Copies of this chain bind each other. A is one copy, B any other.
Amino acid sequence: MSECLVNGKPENSVPADDRGLLYGDHLFETIAFVDGRAPLWPLHMARLTQDAGRLLLPAPDPELLAAECTRVAGSQPRCVVRLTLTRGSSGRAYQPPATPQPRRIIQRRAWPQRLAAQRQRGLKLHTSSVRLASSAQLAGIKHGNRLEQVLAAEYARRAGVDEAIMLDQRGRPLEAIAGNLVLIIDGQALTPQKRHAGVDGVGLQALGEWLRQAPQEATLEVDDLRQADEVMVINSVAGIRPVRMLDDRALAIGPVCRRWQRLWDELFECDD
């Protein structure tokens, strides 16, 4: 059982001319595996296929990817598989080759520590000074250009917080560093509109499917975060984590969060 496959072969390295390395020219999915199965697999594949079209990459082969990801996951009770699909090697500087040969890099990672405690007791967040750039071409895509998240995560580490609220260029809350936001305001579930920045998250999509009603996209302001009854961070691996502290303000962990967490656990643990 290999921890890393590159184009189907056990390898722990990638050619130095891979465009993923040179330019962040890739897509990736971070996929939760439980007992060898990925409960959110169809959503990951749907996003990857859509994003490949937007980045002018050839459509991926979901069956091949399923075989390789399952092989890397092995029989671990829980693990995370990172699937990276780069535009491969060659091309002329920024310009891709006429017929790119994408490279598949599939890596196993340990299940993150502390998630259970974070789901139970909640997250401490600050508002990041790093703002998300606006780009109609790249908004929503889970691509490999992640310096904003890297910088925000480094500042969060230095500040001793678990996560951060990232604002867009106009100062509106858009998402967390590694997760989408859901606010409960007057009984309504709202999530920031992501037409110009942010990632179209698989965890949030899954929740919407399970509830048969996705949280409603809205243009939200910083004040909405302060006035919300509940604030949650949703991520396909970490699940649903409530925010218990945002900057200098304590938030309550409310009943909607607890109900959704039970739903998430049921669907992840015993849906076969």
Contact = CB atoms under 8 A, between A and B. Distances in A.
Nearest to A17: B107
A146 B56 contact: no
Interface of A: 4, 6, 11-26, 28, 30, 55-56, 82, 84, 86-87, 92-96, 98, 105, 107, 112, 130-131, 133-138, 143-154, 156-157, 169, 177-178, 197
Contact of A146 (B24, B105, B153): B24
Given A12-B15, A15-B12, A147-B24, A95 B153 contact: yes
Contact of A22 (B25, B134, B144): B144
B150 A96 contact: yes
A110 to B, nearest CB: 10
B134 A134 contact: yes
Chain copies in the assembled complex? 2
A154 B96 contact: yes
B137 A148 contact: yes
Nearest to A132: B135
Contacts of A23: 24, 144-147, 149-150
Contact of A16 (B12, B22, B136, B149): B12
Contacts of A84: 21-22
A56 B20 CA distance: 22
Contacts of A147: 23-25, 55, 138, 143-145
A134 B137 contact: no
Q: Which of A20, A24, A151, A152 has the largest count of B CB atoms less than 10 A from its CB? A: A24
A21 B18 CA distance: 8
A152 B6 CA distance: 28
Given A13-B14, A22-B82, A138-B148, 14 more contacts: A13-B15, A14-B18, A18-B21, A21-B84, A22-B28, A23-B147, A30-B93, A92-B112, A93-B112, A96-B150, A133-B197, A135-B148, A135-B169, A137-B148
